[in-house]
Structure formats: C-alpha cells, structure tokens
C-alpha cells in the first residue's frame, strides 16, 4: 500500500509538471462543451423554397403568402417554369420547389381536389423530409381554412368520426434538442480525454525507457496499473464536474435525478474507460501507435453509441456491436438520470454492462502488462 502511495506521488508530479497538457485536459472539453452543442442543431427553420406559380389566381396567391408567413421557409425565387426553378436546386440555393399548375383554382373549386407538385433535393435526407413535412402541415392548415370549406362544413350536421389527436412531450415539453445533445457531448468529451490520455500513458514510459526502471523494482503489476489509473480517474472526475457546471451555467440543464448516483456512475464508467486506454497502451510500442489505435476505436464508439442517431433504429447486428461499446451504456445512463430522474433499479442493466467492461478491460490490461520482455 505504501508503494502505491509513492507511485501516485510520482504520477501526480509528472502530470503537474506539464502545465500545457493539464490545461488542455480541462480547457479543451469546457470550450468544446460550450461551442459544440450550439452547432448541433436539428431544429430546421430556414428552408429555402422556389415557387413556380402557373395559375396566378387568388387561391394560389393566398397559399404562397401563407407559406411565406409560416416562419419555416425562405422564398428564394419565383420562377416561370419548373426547369428554371430546378436551376436553383442544382446550384444549391434552394431546397425545394413548389409547383402550382395552371387551372389550380378552377379545379379546386369545381372538382374539390387539386394536386400540387413538390420537388425536394433528397440528397440531404433529413432536411428534405422535414421540409416536406412542414410544407404538408402548412397546406393542411390552408385546406382547413379555405373559405369554401368554411361555408360548407357548418351546414352539415357534425359528421361522425373526427379524431382529435393531442400530444405531449414528457421531460422536455418544448422538445428542445439541447436536452438530448448536451449530456451526450459531455460523455463524448470525457471519453476523448480519458481514452486518449490513458492510452498514451504507459507507452510513454516504454518510449522514454523508464519502464525498465519500474520493472526491476518490487512493484506489483496491479499496483503499477492502479498507480496509473487513479490520477486519471481524479482528473476525469474533475472534467465531469466542470462539464456538469457548464451544463447548468450555459444551458440551464440540471440533473433531475440524484447527483450522488450520477457521480457514482461516472466513477465506474471512468474505471472502465481508463482500463480500455491502459489496455491499448500495453499493446503499443510508441505513442503514435497508441494514438492510432485509440483514434480508430473512439471514432467507432462515437458513431455507434447513439449520440447522434438512435440505437433502436439500427439493424440487429449493429445493435449488438453498439452494446459492446461502453460509451453506449454510459450515454444512456447519463440521459436517463439527468433528464428523467431514473433510479438505480431503472438503470441496472446498463450498470451491469459498465461493471463488466470495467472488470474485463482492467483485468486484461493487468494480465497483458508484462514485467519481462
């Protein structure tokens, strides 16, 4: 135990000696947490629209001004033909084209229905579908307020079978994206810092040659690994605390669930994550090699973790891989505790996964660290 104390003293001295690295570990995540979530915004507002009105009637004018005043669309151009409007899509200034055919008003009044064409630039899938959906809801609203509908509906006795759908979003009544993304980015930054720093650590001793000196001492393998793990664990917890403060100060997000439990989970997750970093470190011979491997895995972890896209929508094999990455479970836990106030019994499956990762990864790292070459 006393040996461990000396090891810790050595590690802390090494960390505090390099002030730039220390500053980077704290400052970089803080700055990124302040900036990045503001750039990740799925609330699409300004959809650029080109309009081809071949009818020039009262109704077509009303429809166009209704679209203009909805607040979602920005009118880029009024074109004479579809071909002309297509030019705007091709050079990227417009996202969708609304085409009102000749005879629009006449057909609507006489036949009761009229089709209008919407052409969307479907390369940008999410923008296209959201823009199309907005336009449809504007048109549905326009339909309901059409004067001819207003006149005819009240004369009928109330028709049977009207379904009134109401909806509500629990935990996030305004459905704001920041509640979803900020805790996710916090986990991401903690993972980047913890993963890279611990991956570089043991391998640095190898590169500099000091590992030989440690190997000839009576320090046990587990003491050595623990001596590496504890300082980074403490730094990780500091980063996590700073991150939570940013969440509160900048975004006004305060954990709904119990704070001690959130910290306990972060502590366990950090053990698993640092174990992963140390494992990479024991398998590499130079810092560059360690960074390459860490980069390869962390990029996959980020994409598979459900940070940007939901894990449930993935095919079965991808969900399986997703379950094998510790980040997935910790993001889920943080979101559940912070946003919904889930209790220990709600998160026991995820907790089980993280505990298992912690034991396996650290055990593997200790086993793979050889004191003799």
Residues 97, 99, 104, CA angle at the centre, nearest 5°? Answer: 160
218 binds another protein (CB under 8 A): no
In angstroms, the CA 48 to CA 88 distance is: 10
In angstroms, the CA 288 to CA 311 distance is: 32
CA 18 to chain centroid: 32
16 binds another protein (CB under 8 A): no
| Contacting range for another protein; rule: CB under 8 A; set: 215-223, 226-234, 238-246, 296-304 | 296-304
- The conformation of residue 324, written as its DSSP 8-state character, comes to T
175 binds another protein (CB under 8 A): yes
Crossing angle for the helix pair 287-304 and 178-208, to the nearest 10 degrees:
160
In angstroms, the CA 30 to CA 252 distance is: 15
| Contacting range for another protein; rule: CB under 8 A; set: 108-116, 235-243, 271-279, 354-362 | 108-116
242 binds another protein (CB under 8 A): no
Q: Assess contact for 217 and 187: CB atoms under 8 A.
A: no
Kindly write out the interface string for residues 54-83 of this chain, putting x where it contacts another protein by CB under 8 A and - elsewhere.
Answer: ---------x--------------------
Q: Name the minimum Å distance from CB 153 to another protein.
A: 7
Which of these, 276, 250, 290, lies nearest to 330 by C-alpha position?
Answer: 276
The H or E element spanning position 100 is: strand 96-100
When binding is defined by CB under 8 A, the residue of 61, 70, 77, 114 that contacts another protein is: 114
| Contacting range for another protein; rule: CB under 8 A; set: 212-220, 229-237, 243-251, 305-313 | 305-313
Which of these, 48, 10, 194, 235, lies nearest to 124 by C-alpha position?
Answer: 48
When binding is defined by CB under 8 A, the residue of 57, 198, 342, 362 that contacts another protein is: 342
Q: Name the minimum Å distance from CB 97 to another protein.
A: 8
| Contacting range for another protein; rule: CB under 8 A; set: 224-232, 261-269, 315-323, 355-363 | 315-323
The footprint of another protein on this chain (CB under 8 A) covers a number of residues equal to 107
Q: Name the minimum Å distance from CB 135 to another protein.
A: 7
Q: Which of residues 140-169 bind another protein (CB under 8 A)?
A: 142-144, 146, 148-149, 152-153, 156, 158-169
| Contacting range for another protein; rule: CB under 8 A; set: 24-32, 223-231, 233-241, 359-367 | 24-32
In angstroms, the CA 117 to CA 287 distance is: 58
Residues 187, 253, 190, CA angle at the centre, nearest 5°? Answer: 15
324 binds another protein (CB under 8 A): no
């Amino acid at each position: 135990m006393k040996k461990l104390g000396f090891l810790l003293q050595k590690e802390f001295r090494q960390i505090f000696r390099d002030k730039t690295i220390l500053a980077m570990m704290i400052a970089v995540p803080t700055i990124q947490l302040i900036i990045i979530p503001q750039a990740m915004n799925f609330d699409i507002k300004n959809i650029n629209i080109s309009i081809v009105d071949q009818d020039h009637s009262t109704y077509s004018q009303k429809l166009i001004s209704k679209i203009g005043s909805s607040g979602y669309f920005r009118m880029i151009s009024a074109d004479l033909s579809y071909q002309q409007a297509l030019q705007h899509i091709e050079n990227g200034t417009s996202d969708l084209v609304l085409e009102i055919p000749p005879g629009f008003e006449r057909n609507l009044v006489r036949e009761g229905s009229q089709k209008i064409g919407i052409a969307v630039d479907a390369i940008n899938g999410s923008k296209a579908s959201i823009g199309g959906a907005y336009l449809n809801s504007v048109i549905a609203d326009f339909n309901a307020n059409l004067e001819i509908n207003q006149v005819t509906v009240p004369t009928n006795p109330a028709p049977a079978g009207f379904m009134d759908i109401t909806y509500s979003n629990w935990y996030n009544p305004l459905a704001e994206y920041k509640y979803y993304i900020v805790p996710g980015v916090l986990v991401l930054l903690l993972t980047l810092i913890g993963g890279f720093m611990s991956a570089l650590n043991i391998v640095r001793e190898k590169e500099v040659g000091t590992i030989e000196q440690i190997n000839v001492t009576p320090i046990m393998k587990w003491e050595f690994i623990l001596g590496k793990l504890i300082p980074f664990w403490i730094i990780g917890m500091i980063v996590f605390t700073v991150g939570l403060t940013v969440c509160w100060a900048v975004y006004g997000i305060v954990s709904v669930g119990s704070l001690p439990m959130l910290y306990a989970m972060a502590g366990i997750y950090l053990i698993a994550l640092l174990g992963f970093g140390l494992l990479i470190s024991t398998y590499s011979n130079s810092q560059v090699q360690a960074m390459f491997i860490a980069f390869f895995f962390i990029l996959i972890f980020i994409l598979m973790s459900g940070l940007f896209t939901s894990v449930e929508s993935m095919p079965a094999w991808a969900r399986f891989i997703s379950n094998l990455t510790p980040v997935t479970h910790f993001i889920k836990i943080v979101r559940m505790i912070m946003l919904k106030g889930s209790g220990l019994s709600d998160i026991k499956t995820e907790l089980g996964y993280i505990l298992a990762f912690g034991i396996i990864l650290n055990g593997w790292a200790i086993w793979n660290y050889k004191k003799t070459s």
